[in-house]
Amino acid sequence: MSEATMTMDKGLDHTIIGESTKSFIDGQKGVLEYVGIDIDSLARNSTFEETCYLLLNDRLPTPAELEAFTARIRSQYDLSEYMWAALKAIPLSAAPMHVLQTMVAMLALEDPDCDDQSLVAEEEKAIRILAATPAIIANFDRLRRGESFVRPDANDNVATSFLRMLNGTKPGEASAKALDVCLVLHADHGINASTFATMVVVGTESDMYSAITAAIGTLRGPLHGGANERVMNMLQEIGDIGAIEEFVLGRLARKEKVPGFGHRVYKAIDPRATYLKTFAESIAAETGNIELFQMSRKIEEIMESQVGAKGIHPNVDFYSASTYFSLGLAIDLFTPIFAMSRNAGWAAHAIERLEDNRLIRPRCQYTGPHAADYTAIADR
């Protein structure tokens, strides 16, 4: 293709880079499906482990397949002594996303099959990363709180194991279910920035660990991940339900964004937020944070009356913020948990890409000078 026939698409909004069976999004109608199954059905009926199987295999598992798949994940929960020691050596002031990125990259150092790109080997790496991530996130947080490590329990599902490690006690069923639902909702979302980063890396025939490390770094950017952190910071800044109207209307008058509202793709209500809003209320009530939920609901009411007609609605991050906070999570752990979930989608797209790989090599339009003279350093 000659440069004359190329078109400018700065954010790649209108560029299709390949085919995928993993997730379907209709932003105008507010539809999200994983392998054809709508996200609300999965959030209400599935589990994170079953959702991971669905994304990796393009179908729901039989009971026996799900049991075997779950056992594979749980067998990889624990870290090696080398990895525990490495985690302990990290500065306590480090950002959790940097910690996660570093530790996932280090997993490659122990894997003799790191460069094996067979589908079997790639899936095994994906499961290893998926399984190890909860221990990394939870135990780094324990370290910086001055507490000792809690090893994962292979009898627990991912959500329960994470919360047990984080807090040192087994969570209640409602709390574990709330986190599990959030993990399902965040597991995949088309070719977003971090998934695209994954595909760029595997497109070079690099390894899965490098691809997921790149994805984590991409998710850390405030224009991609971190929206629920900003929502929680906003709620704390407002402080009281009586101050909400002035705060929100003031932001809108100044043409400032209200965190948790609007989406690059969705012009209808984010389908991931529908069930989560109901769940957020029950968890807030159970944990004594109902005022936090009521503040969120008040913000939504004002935003809906002011900008709902423009297609600006709450997204999944708006109600996941109060849910995570009610579960006792530090605000800077919100995005690492997002990554803990999105591991599933990243790996699924990476493996799918390898089956029909092509190096991703976009072009840019050069706008600099031509035929410029080189000036000797003595004459500059």
- Indicate if 40 belongs to the active site: no
How far is residue 189 CA from its own chain's centroid? 9
CA dihedral sign, ordered 117, 122, 124, 130? positive
Distances (CA, A) of 149 to 86, 137, 165, 324: 13, 11, 8, 21
Classify residue 217 as exposed, middle or buried by CB count within 10 Å of its CB (0-12, 13-18, 19+): middle
From the candidates 113, 116, 224, 332, which is the catalytic residue? 224
Phi, psi values for residue 196, rounded to 5°: -60, -40
Q: Which of 112, 110, 62 is nearest to 85 (CA)?
A: 110
In this structure, what DSSP letter does residue 260 have?
T
Which amino acid, 212? I
- Indicate if 14 belongs to the active site: no
Contacts of 233 (CB under 8 A, 6+ apart): 259, 331
Query: Which residue carries 């503040």 as its tokens?
Result: 295
From the candidates 156, 207, 270, 317, which is the catalytic residue? 317
Question: What HEC string does 76-111 produce?
Answer: CCCCCHHHHHHHHHCCCCCCHHHHHHHHHHHHHHHC
Q: Which of 301, 210, 171, 183 is nearest to 248 (CA)?
A: 301
Contacts of 303 (CB under 8 A, 6+ apart): 248, 258, 261, 312, 313, 314
Residue 142 contacts residue 92 (beta carbons within 8 Å): no
Residue 53 contacts residue 46 (beta carbons within 8 Å): no
- Indicate if 153 belongs to the active site: no
**For the chain, what is the total number of helices (H) and then of strands (E)?**
16, 3
From the candidates 180, 186, 189, 263, which is the catalytic residue? 263
Residues forming the active site: 224, 263, 317
